[in-house]
Structure 1
Amino acid sequence: MKAMILAAGKGERMRPLTLHTPKPLLPVGGKPLIQWHIERLARAGLRELVINHAWLGEQLEARLGDGTSLGVRIRWSAEDEPLETAGGIRRALPLLGEQPFVLVNGDVWTDFDFARLQLPTGMLAHLVLVDNPPFKAAGDFLLQGGRIANPGAGEQADAMTYSGISILSPRLFDGLGEGPQPLAPLLRRAAEQGLVSGERHTGCWVDVGTPERLQQVDQLARET
């Protein structure tokens, strides 16, 4: 199975740190944030990686190369313009192939064991959810008996946050045109059709979206 790391974001909330350094290369515990993902994926047996990039992407390629030094094989999907999540994945599909693949946001830090991920038969996606962090009061999806559902009126308080970790079938993107497009509408549509499963992760997970949270995960990493 292959894995894709999303690394094309500009990191606006991280400025000025990301003015000259792409967010995935910001240091956490003495190594780049993205390297934590690469090492965890490799330990889980996921050594065929696709990484997309846009802002300062040449720095990512120069730093990580083909992944040999980290025990993986990296193929790069360069974006001339930001394509958002679904648009970036669609661009990378020729590199990912026809089988389900693991997807992980490059700007989260977690102890999640990627070896656990499986896509149940007939599903288009399997999402990992986490309890809503302090900076996000409302969640994204409901988890009901191993299935993902969209929260209805009055159910938002019971919803949890999508962690940015999932396993997806390329069929989720059937019929999707080119250009910038978000992933959430595809997931919500598939959930309405009963085609998305999920699980809850109760371990460590941080959305590294601000300099303050970068300091938090740097401390966590040094204590690991």
Structure 2
Amino acid sequence: MATTTRTPETHGTTRTHNDCDPATRVTRSLLGYGVLAGPFYVSVALAQVFTRDGFDPAVHQWSMLALGDHGWIQVANLTLTGLMLVAFAVGLGRALTPGRGARWAPRLVAAYGISLVAAGAFRADAAYGFPVGTAEGPGDISWHGMLHLAAGAVGFTCLAVACFVLARRYTADGRLTWAVFSRIVGVVFLAGFGAVAVGAGAAAANLAFTAAIVLVFGWITAVALDRYRRTVSPS
């Protein structure tokens, strides 16, 4: 849907964002993937959380939804979300240039997107009774389970660092509320990741990590919307 803006040079006439030059339209389209990625991932995951037999959100992490007969749904969810984030990262780089964070913020977000694709390709190991029929307890770690954990560790770390990189950009731009918000999200996300890393299988750790995932995807959506609204055609 087109939105309108008034410009001094048109003396009260209006123009729509559909009148953007081609480069701006491409940038805004790429940023749009960042708006969609979080709601898409969270809604698809939650739909499975409440419908998959044997899945307990207090015990099992969302990545384990990739296991079992319907695991392809979560694999597709991880892959598509990861690709959307890579596209968003390209748009973010275009939207931030020139200025602080224009190089590293997009790279870090893209690394997280790639890690999601890798997490879908290398599935987590069955554990704690899921899928149904799996023995209770943490179980053995396979080679693909190890790669899954490695992808998560790299991706989560990159995304947390991206929060702080963008916080510096917001500070440089004089947008202190956004800077504080980004730093809080980075800290909370790191804390949630640390909690699940040392307390896998513990209800409090899993729920804290799930909350951190929802929060950081909300942050991505907010940042994408912010950059989308601020990306305009050169005069």
Q: TM-score, normalised by structure 1?
A: 0.26
Identify the structure with the greater helix proportion: 2
Identify the structure with the greater strand proportion: 1
Q: TM-score, normalised by structure 2?
A: 0.26
Instruction: Kindly name which structure, 1 or 2, has the bigger radius of gyration based on alpha carbons.
Output: 2
